[in-house]
Structure 1
Amino acid sequence: MTNETSWISVCAVGDIVPDTGVCALVHGAQVAVFRVGGELYAIDNLDPCSGAAVLSRGLVGNLGERVVVASPIYKQHFDLRTGECVEAPEQAVRTWPVRRQGDHVQVGQADA
């Protein structure tokens, strides 16, 4: 059995303003997709601390070496590389594979 990733184009790269995020529906889940510098990141959009689907609207920045988004509700910081909540690691969110394919941003989900 092989693990393959099925990819969905969610938007054009230019649709994401640098250092911000957008929300996309991918495989039935809300995914927050961020463009930070030349990198793309994707995490669950649902803030586990508040239960609201708002992470795509959070402020993007750095905490030391970590690239993070601050939830607009309670201001917890989520690491965009790992999904870990800096203040409460047990509140981590799932990360999603993301890539640039030409001018398109694609998010994938690994098949079991």
Structure 2
Amino acid sequence: MNNDRLPPAWTPICPLDDIVPNTGVCALVNGEQVAVFHVSEGGANNSVFAIDNFDPGSQAAVLSRGLIGSLGERLVVASPIYKHHFDLRTGECLETPAYSVSAFAARVENGQVWVAV
């Protein structure tokens, strides 16, 4: 059987209330640092996103500390070091596409944040 085709395993991260709205936290999931963001958009208070925490531009694990905002229709986090913008839905680095990171499925279920890596 080819393991590349197995669905991702969902991992509980923390209660949603433990992440201040419009900020991120770092979680260790299967040995990987994952930046998990709680975004409050237009009154919706339960949107969560997950991307790699490692910023290829600065070579540092800092994306969870970045500032959340938007560029046009894109919801992004700005890396705290070189200010590259990463799309929270896709992981794409808008300034330097070669620096794009992985994005992971994230959800809230019964007040708990879950991430699939």
**Where on the TM-score scale, by shorter chain, does this alignment land: which range?**
over 0.9
The residue that corresponds to 1:67 in the other structure is: 75
The residue that corresponds to 1:36 in the other structure is: 39
User: Is 1:27 paired with 2:30?
Assistant: yes
Give the letter aligned to residue 26 of structure 1: V
Q: Which has the higher strand share?
A: 2
- Choose the corresponding residue for 1:101, options 90, 97, 109: 109
Give the letter aligned to residue 27 of structure 2: A
Gaps of 5+ in 2: 41-45
User: Is 1:16 paired with 2:19?
Assistant: yes
The residue that corresponds to 1:82 in the other structure is: 90
The residue that corresponds to 1:55 in the other structure is: 63
Corresponding residue SS for 1:96:
strand
Q: Distance in 2 between the 1:4 and 1:69 partners?
A: 27
Which ranges of 4 or more aligned residues in structure 1 deviate by more than 6 Å?
A: none
Corresponding residue SS for 1:72:
coil
Give the letter aligned to residue 74 of structure 2: R
Gaps of 5+ in 1: none
Give the letter aligned to residue 16 of structure 2: V
The residue that corresponds to 2:43 in the other structure is: none
Give the letter aligned to residue 93 of structure 2: C
- Displacement of 1:5 in angstroms is 2.3
Question: How many percent of aligned residue pairs carry the same amino acid?
Answer: 59
Tell me how many residue pairs correspond in the alignment: 109
Q: TM-score when scaled to structure 2? A: 0.89
Q: CA RMSD in A?
A: 1.1
